[in-house]
Amino acid sequence: MPSMRSAPVPSFSLWRPPLLPDVQVVRVEEDSRLWSGHSIQYAITVTYAGAFDFWYRKREWTLGPGRQLKLKEPGEVHRDLRVHAPVTAQSVAFTPRLVDEAARQLGLPASPHLRATLSRGTGRCEAAALALHAALARRSSDRLECESLLTETLDALLTEYAERPPATRCPSHRPAVLRVRDFLYARFTENVGLEALASSVDLNRFHLLRMFRAEFGLPPHDFVTHLRVARARTLLAQGMAAGDVAAEVGLYDQSQLNRHFKRIVGVTPGQYARAVCQ
């Protein structure tokens, strides 16, 4: 007789990332429960599997897996209506204080209103939010990565979906951005944060992030990752073990080195070492 497969067990987890004190993450796996509540924070939800209908802003909506995001703001009621298939989803919530500070730095009034319930699925907000979700899901301890992805997500959210979008132009501060680049060249093995970098050159973090990306084509955390991988290639070619290389270049373990190295170089550190050391 064919074996009986057990039904998936739903799970619920909630945590506050230590590096982002104004952020809360909620994740459900294989969940068929109907949730309802009154929002007290801004939130962005991504659905990885399953589909459900919900009520929000006087109408019904449907959300399934993909790049489309569910957006919430404080002071509004949301209510799940039906689950079409067990849902795996993750929600990242931001305190009103955090969003108000982001709005202020972007030149917007406090308590910005979001024009949309579901994102378009094709903009900058999706790319930033999905990267932030992924970093939080793997419990990243890289301060620059976490702070940069949070800043990019809030920037994109308010730029694309606030009722009054911020000004897209900001004055250039190339000398300040070059000083940040030089600092990262000299200290790329350290766990420096975006806020500290911005303060050191007297810019707000949104302005620094925009200027750095415009100047170098990458946000600071990706720039640092490329520096670390470049150094790792040199050390691997000299015969250093991959586990030791990870610590030497400022990464926390070999799995983190493997992930970044394969994404940038195209092969694993082990494959690279075997090829260059033959």
**Which residues contact residue 251 at a Cβ distance below 8 angstroms, ignoring those fewer than 6 apart?**
228, 257, 260
Predicted local confidence at residue 173, as pLDDT:
82
Which one is predicted more confidently, 182 or 2?
182
Predicted local confidence at residue 6, as pLDDT:
61
pLDDT per residue as tens digits for the range 31-40 = 999 999 999 9
pLDDT per residue as tens digits for the range 174-213 = 899 999 999 999 999 999 999 999 999 999 999 999 999 9
Taking the C-alpha atoms of residue 176 and residue 247, their distance in angstroms, rounded to an integer, is 29
170 pLDDT higher than 90: no
pLDDT per residue as tens digits for the range 42-91 = 999 999 999 999 999 999 999 999 999 999 999 999 999 999 999 999 99
Give the closest residue to 173 by CA, choosing from 215, 222, 144, 145: 215
Predicted local confidence at residue 168, as pLDDT:
60
| Secondary structure of the chain in HEC code, one letter for each residue | CCCCCCCCCCEEEEECCCCCCCEEEEEEEEECCCCEEECCCEEEEEEEEEEEEEEECCEEEEECCCCCCEEECCCCEEEEEEEEEEEEEEEEEECHHHHHHHHHHCCCCCCCCECCCECCCCCHHHHHHHHHHHHHHCCCCCHHHHHHHHHHHHHHHHHHHECCCCCCCCCCCHHHHHHHHHHHHHHCCCCCCHHHHHHHCCCCHHHHHHHHHHHHCCCHHHHHHHHHHHHHHHHHHCCCCHHHHHHHCCCCCHHHHHHHHHHHHCCCHHHHHHHHCC
Which one is predicted more confidently, 4 or 195?
195
pTM score, whole prediction = 0.91
Give the closest residue to 23 by CA, choosing from 94, 111, 72, 90: 94
Predicted local confidence at residue 90, as pLDDT:
98
Predicted local confidence at residue 5, as pLDDT:
59
Predicted local confidence at residue 258, as pLDDT:
93
**CATH code assigned to 11-161:** 2.60.120.10
pLDDT per residue as tens digits for the range 117-169 = 999 999 999 999 999 999 999 999 999 999 999 999 999 999 999 998 776 66
CATH assignment of 223-276, among 1.10.10.10, 1.10.10.60, 1.10.3230.20, 3.10.20.30? 1.10.10.60
Beta bridge partners of 77: 38
Give the closest residue to 107 by CA, choosing from 42, 159, 160: 159
| The residue to which tokens 């497969």 are assigned | 5
Taking the C-alpha atoms of residue 240 and residue 236, their distance in angstroms, rounded to an integer, is 5
| 44 touches 153 (CB < 8 A) | yes
Beta bridge partners of 13: 27
* Domain-wise residue ranges, the chain: 11-161, 174-217, 223-276
Give the closest residue to 45 by CA, choosing from 191, 2, 142, 31: 31
**How much is the average pLDDT of 245-271?**
92
Predicted local confidence at residue 169, as pLDDT:
64
Taking the C-alpha atoms of residue 178 and residue 252, their distance in angstroms, rounded to an integer, is 27
Same CATH fold assignment for domains 11-161 and 223-276: no
Dihedral-angle region of residue 107 (phi above 0 means left; psi in -120 to 50 means alpha; beta otherwise):
left
- In angstroms, the Cα distances linking 185 to 208, 220, 251 are 17, 11, 15
Predicted local confidence at residue 172, as pLDDT:
73
Predicted local confidence at residue 30, as pLDDT:
96
| 145 touches 94 (CB < 8 A) | no
Predicted local confidence at residue 165, as pLDDT:
75
